[in-house]
Amino acid sequence: MSLIEVNSLCKNYKIADKEQGLSGMLKHIVAPKYHMKEAVKDINFTVEKGESVAYIGSNGAGKSTTIKMLTGILKPTSGNICINGLDPYKHRIQSTKNIGVVFGQRTQLWWDIPIRESFSMLKEIYEIPNSVYDANIKYFGEILGVSEFMGYPARKLSLGQRMRADIVASLIHNPPVIYLDEPTIGLDVAVKERVCEFLKKINKERGTTILLTSHDLDDIEKVCSRIIVIDHGKKLFDGDAALLKRKYAYNRCIVVKTAYDLPKENKICNELPNITVEKTDSHVYEISFNQDEYSAYNIIQKLSEYLPIVDFSLREPSVEQVVKKIYNGEIEREFEV
Ligand SMILES: Nc1ncnc2c1ncn2[C@@H]1O[C@H](COP(=O)(O)OP(=O)(O)OP(=O)(O)O)[C@@H](O)[C@H]1O
């Protein structure tokens, strides 16, 4: 059995259709009208223990809705979720011991009491043995540097400090799985780096399973070995970054430095149809081509018939470029899984 099993998961929101103004409000009281918004549509996936999975999609794709169902906050409209053998909605209390949750946009720490006290309260709530609690405070405290501000209430912390404290709070009971919904939103580069390094470390050293949503693809490439892409509530892709690039980044790019400029009427585009040649600097060209049509060798060979090549490098497509295309709807739905 997998640690996380999601089968035919759907979530519809009932949205009130209210007309504007006081009369609209009164009309709605007398004869309310609603329509349904399908936020998550028939999603299936499994996650094994120790995996680190990015759950990504454009704004409104259904990521937070899925995470809320996985944590047991929201009841699915239909379908099943099983986390470590439990349905998170039906067995909400037992299930909290299996999961840690970080929502980048809000905190689970008590606002007015020192962080240290928030952690102690969580110790009581989760019934954590003293030895485990002390070891975790030491381990997480050292790596994330929370010891410096343990005496401060959450309201007095900077966003970066608060996020680090939130991550400790979510892991203090040693859950086998942690969900992070936009954990690096608004953080500076240094704190972001620290958070990503930490997540990688606990995934590797403790085998903590990670499910992360982020709009920052840099974080995703650093932390996650698998990517699930959703769009309009449906799963579009499930695999690793290399597969994503191999399957959907058809175009590759060679950056070539030449001894002198190509003549304005360059014939290379006629001889190699569908390539694009863009001059980016003096004697420097970026040549994009479809890797199913040409090899880099074809391009270099043909170009060298026209003028001497001083240097060249091959530029790999980035996950960011591919994902941007998916979000913009430029990649056909043919790869729905
Ligand atoms: N409580 C709600 N009531 C009605 N509609 C909702 C509710 N929460 C979310 N939605 C709608 O469901 C869809 C999915 O929203 P969700 O918040 O899951 O997307 P998301 O992928 O997390 O987006 P973002 O990246 O912007 O956070 C959106 O169209 C949103 O407007």
Show pLDDT as tens, one digit a residue, over the chain (337 residues).
Answer: 899 999 999 999 998 887 888 888 888 888 888 889 999 999 999 999 999 999 998 888 999 999 999 999 999 999 999 999 999 999 998 888 889 999 888 888 999 999 999 999 999 999 999 999 999 999 988 889 898 899 999 999 999 999 999 999 999 999 999 999 999 888 888 889 989 999 999 999 999 999 999 888 888 888 999 999 998 899 989 998 888 877 777 778 899 999 988 877 667 778 888 888 888 899 999 898 888 888 889 899 888 888 899 999 988 777 777 787 777 777 654 444 4
Query: 221: closest CA among 198, 195, 201, 240?
Result: 240
Q: Which two tokens stand for residue 203?
A: 């995934």
d(CA 274, CA 284): 20
Instruction: Give the Å distances, CA to CA, from 58 to 61, 104, 217, 324.
Output: 5, 17, 12, 9
Residue 75 to residues 46, 108, 117, 266, Cα–Cα distance (Å): 19, 20, 31, 62
What domains appear along the chain, each with residue ranges and CATH number?
Answer: 49-245 (3.40.50.300), 250-316 (3.30.70)
Specify which residues 203 forms β-bridges with. Answer: none
ipTM of this complex prediction, to 2 decimal places = 0.97
Distance (Å) from CA 100 to ligand 1 centroid: 21
Distance CA 304, CA 314 (A): 16
Task: Give the 3-state secondary structure of residue 21.
Answer: helix
SS3 of 259, please? coil
How close is the Cα of 28 to the center of ligand 1, in Å?
Answer: 23
What is the reported pLDDT for 312? 93
- Is the distance from CB of 159 to CB of 112 less than 8 angstroms? no
d(CA 205, CA 239) in angstroms, rounded, equals 23
d(CA 50, ligand 1 centre) in Å: 28
41: number of Cβ within 10 Å: 18
Ligand 1 pocket mutation, candidates 12, 64, 215, 219, criterion most atoms within 8 A of CB: 64
Tokens standing for residue 155: 């309201």
Q: How far is the CA of 64 from the centre of ligand 1 (A)?
A: 7
Indicate whether this model's pTM tops 0.90: no
Residue 332's pLDDT is what?
A: 56
Q: Decide: helix, strand or coil at residue 22.
A: helix
